[in-house]
Structure 1
């Protein structure tokens, strides 16, 4: 048995080296900032340092380019269209055409990191196409009605035009799923969406979280924290409204975005809005918060994991990726890392906060849970997955 394990480990090492020796193309959508999907891209580039990089458009500022490790992406005609630097999303109807113009025919392995159109890259029968899915196109599928309403496109001529475009995008998105050999989902929640939308099974590999970059701290202060971009689906306004009805509870809010002024107008005296803050300031607040409050339905949700890495419990909406990254409190358990609320309502959040005040959650358990989502866990899983695929195809 020991000899067999050594032989398998040796084969794994040799296969990983063989995979790394392949001609690899990595395809993503737009490069404009360094956020969640870009952190996945960063680790993919580290796994495959020989890879060529392709994307629809690249408007990354110089200060954020280090994660590309010196690579200059090959872009599409979207890059050169008028006002594309600021209005690239407006060219979404042209992106299926654009992604299909990228030539990756000279590569053995194509890995797409997709939340919109990257999975539509054209590949041949002798190529392997692995697609890491952050989400099927949300605004074209089950969130279409919410997207149209929030964008003011739920009525009128513009609304009908938007619906027609999204109908076309759905047809294209479904058809191009056939060009993917293997799907990877960033959570079980997204794996279910892939099954629903494309009729395909997906391996689950959680995205990498820089757990080591968040210092563990048991010295908690008497405030709650929420931090995110202030857009409607993040539900920051809802959290503030809930704390307005709990004047004895202090809430600190970090983040900026379109909804900032609306939230500023309603915030009570117990709510402190700090706007955008650099990473080091955010980490400090995360370390010392009593709990992190998270009301969005996310595909995965990196921020709650980062909070747990600091030893900070999470009060989260019990839907989506939070159910996989937060361990809800149950009587008699010692591994809980937070509590859930069932509805995106003021009353439900208030009830969850009061419940949290009555229970005991270990800071150590929070940190230990966060370590499941570290960078090494991601890179090991990706390389193991490629190894299994290579082994299967050889056999």
Structure 2
């Protein structure tokens, strides 16, 4: 990019209201392109301001809504398509969208090249549609309204899927879903993991660890029910709208720590027995971080973990999201604990290092620049 000082780049991300895996990817984009503004529909400076300073943020009018409404943003989904389309990118040469639902739908002119880095097509409109309806815990008539609105969203989503010039999928799993729902081809570039933040530690303390946002699809309740049953210590780092519910169903062997900064998370990972990852993710950064520490991962054999965990060598995968299936895999992990090769786990994690990601993104930018 230094050879093209006049090139103007913008970044887009749906919401900056938490710091999860998608935000870690955005942070690397922001570091790569320090002059690029970040367009977003909602912004919480208290939570995200240190990583994404207010001076770089261009936020939509939705951010003026009262806090109690913004905190229920899943009910704002009918407003999102129009909101994302209202952003004006006519002054920019390249726009990179960090997409989990709506960002692929930005409108750019013929002189602006749109690169969509896709964490996932809109989950609750497609493959997780029925689970999403059930999670709302509403009555029959409200579910009918949700069904009607979702039909409208799917029509918009499919039309908007033609707008990016290039799709980058964060995993083979997402690439397959882009092909299924959008009928589009994509490149695969795995999300960047800051491997150097972690040190291999061959010893451990007597606890298992979860690092996750506490939302229904993460299936944290499944892990809690298992650890309630077996009585082993489980530490949970993260926050989210399921926090109180999960606390209510937990026994005394389960500890909730809430949000922790990167350094604190690193220390807990380096000292745990294993990372527990019970939900289906399109990629999943935390399992890579755990392997970078030389720690095995217990996870569901679906989604991105099939690409990042070598079962029997860097962790154990369970086939069904049930207590029985998970318990059997955990027993196997504990039995094999002394045989896991910490250096092999580290080497596996290095496949997903930040340097690899940056190099491949820059190659794509260079190819765009060379186009007539």
Instruction: Spell out, residue by residue over 1:279-302, the C-alpha distance to the aligned partner (whole angstroms, 9 max, x if none).
Output: 344332311222112111011111
Q: 2:328 aligns with which of 326, 331, 351?
A: 351
The answer on whether the counterparts of 1:33 and 1:60 sit within 8 Å (CA) in structure 2 is no
Hey, what does 1:44 align to over in structure 2? Answer: 29
**Alpha-carbon distance change, 259 to 202 in structure 1, aligned in 2, over 3 angstroms:** same
Counterpart Cα distance in 2 of 1:99 and 1:268: 43
Structure 1 position 371 matched with structure 2 position 354: no
Q: 2:79 aligns with which of 94, 99, 103?
A: 94
Counterpart Cα distance in 2 of 1:139 and 1:125: 31
CA offset at residue 361 of structure 1? 1.0
Instruction: Spell out, residue by residue over 1:166-187, the C-alpha distance to the aligned partner (whole angstroms, 9 max, x if none).
Output: 1111111110111111001111
SS at match of 1:179: coil
User: What is the correspondence of 1:141-220 to structure 2 with a 5 Å cutoff?
Assistant: 141-153=126-138, 155-220=139-204
CA offset at residue 277 of structure 1? 5.1
Q: Paired residues, what number?
A: 368
CA offset at residue 319 of structure 1? 0.5
Structure 1 residue runs without a partner (length 5+)? 1-15, 330-335
What's the TM-score, normalizing by structure 2? 0.91
**Alpha-carbon distance change, 342 to 123 in structure 1, aligned in 2, over 3 angstroms:** same
The answer on whether the counterparts of 2:236 and 2:258 sit within 8 Å (CA) in structure 1 is no
Query: Superposition RMSD on alpha carbons, in Å?
Result: 2.2
Q: 1:128 aligns with which of 113, 124, 140?
A: 113
**Alpha-carbon distance change, 121 to 215 in structure 1, aligned in 2, over 3 angstroms:** same
Counterpart Cα distance in 2 of 1:314 and 1:274: 19
Counterpart Cα distance in 2 of 1:373 and 1:30: 25
What's the TM-score, normalizing by structure 1? 0.86
Greater shift in the superposed pair: 277-286 or 176-185? 277-286
Q: 1:380 aligns with which of 332, 348, 359?
A: 359
Counterpart Cα distance in 2 of 1:139 and 1:167: 11
The answer on whether the counterparts of 1:254 and 1:274 sit within 8 Å (CA) in structure 2 is yes
SS at match of 2:104: helix
The answer on whether the counterparts of 2:296 and 2:314 sit within 8 Å (CA) in structure 1 is yes
SS at match of 2:193: coil
**Alpha-carbon distance change, 254 to 185 in structure 1, aligned in 2, over 3 angstroms:** same
The answer on whether the counterparts of 1:339 and 1:352 sit within 8 Å (CA) in structure 2 is yes
The answer on whether the counterparts of 1:99 and 1:121 sit within 8 Å (CA) in structure 2 is yes
User: What is the correspondence of 1:292-307 to structure 2 with a 5 Å cutoff?
Assistant: 292-307=275-290
Q: Which has the larger radius of gyration?
A: 1
SS at match of 2:156: helix
Hey, what does 1:35 align to over in structure 2? Answer: 20
CA offset at residue 136 of structure 1? 0.8
**Alpha-carbon distance change, 121 to 261 in structure 1, aligned in 2, over 3 angstroms:** closer
